[in-house]
Structure 1
Amino acid sequence: MITDSVLEELTTLRERVAGVTNSAVASVDGLLIAHDTDDVRPEVLAAMAAVALGLGKSTGTEVGMGELREVITRCAGGHIVVYAVRERSLLVVLGDEGLDLNRLHLHSRPAVNRLGELLAA
């Protein structure tokens, strides 16, 4: 089942990158597809990530910087990273203050490609 495969990608990301605390995959309109969350409301996370992705896309287009790859928000308690998954989906990853963004990008970019293939099927 596709949802199980998506959840497996999320679980693998949490296991491979220290500091990842929660993650979810959603459509660009904010509908939750799958989540690996403990202490956040996954439906709200999906909806808010869709808003952040949309704003990032619009800003990138307006300033002529090309196709959006990710939106990174740094907060006092950690990071929120939203990755575009093709044109119709997104991956949102929450991390604590110790999150290694370089390691996250190293592992999330291949995961984004795999998620894109899974969701297109």
Structure 2
Amino acid sequence: MNKEAVLTELYALREQVAGVRDSAVASVDGMLIASDTDKVRADALAALAAAALGLGKSTSNEVGMGELREVVTRCQSGHIVVYAVQDHSLLVVLGDEGLDLARLHLESRPAVSRLAEILG
């Protein structure tokens, strides 16, 4: 695994999408791989994002809506978006209230594909 390549993807999302505040990549069991965070504890973010992804996958399976792509949580002060990176990893992005969610989804899909290649 090339941690610098993962960090490059995280930095690019912050640059390309208005409102991105923090991001991280983790395994589906919540182990932090890399992070671009300022004010949040990256290890806690990784663990909680894994829990959100797991719940989303379980719900998706239960209702028969196919493979989970992302989990979006809207909060009073912004958004938490968790993307599945194949079956083994995840990308979590925190955005402020001004997050351009449509742009994030547009930019994250190729980023998720590149992360999948990097993480193998």
TM-score norm. by structure 2 comes to 0.99
**What is residue 19 of structure 2 aligned with on the other side?**
19
Counterpart code for 2:75: C
Q: Deviations over 1:42-66 (max 9, x none)?
A: 0000000000000000000000000
**What is residue 72 of structure 1 aligned with on the other side?**
72
CA distance in 1, matches of 2:40, 2:91: 15
CA distance in 2, matches of 1:80, 1:30: 16
Q: Deviations over 1:32-91 (max 9, x none)?
A: 000000000000000000000000000000000000000000000000000000000000
- How far has the Cα of 1:27 moved from its partner? 0.1
**What is residue 52 of structure 1 aligned with on the other side?**
52
Unaligned residue ranges in structure 1 (runs of 5+): none
Runs of 4+ in 1 over 2 A off after TM superposition: none
**What is residue 91 of structure 1 aligned with on the other side?**
91
- How far has the Cα of 1:16 moved from its partner? 0.4
Unaligned residue ranges in structure 2 (runs of 5+): none
Counterpart code for 1:71: V
**What is residue 7 of structure 2 aligned with on the other side?**
7
Alignment of 1:108-119 (within 5 A): 108-119=108-119
For the aligned residue pairs, the C-alpha RMSD in angstroms reads 0.6
Q: How many pairs are equivalent?
A: 120
| Match status 1:82 vs 2:82 | yes
CA distance in 2, matches of 1:99, 1:18: 6
**What is residue 43 of structure 1 aligned with on the other side?**
43
Identity of aligned residues (%): 73
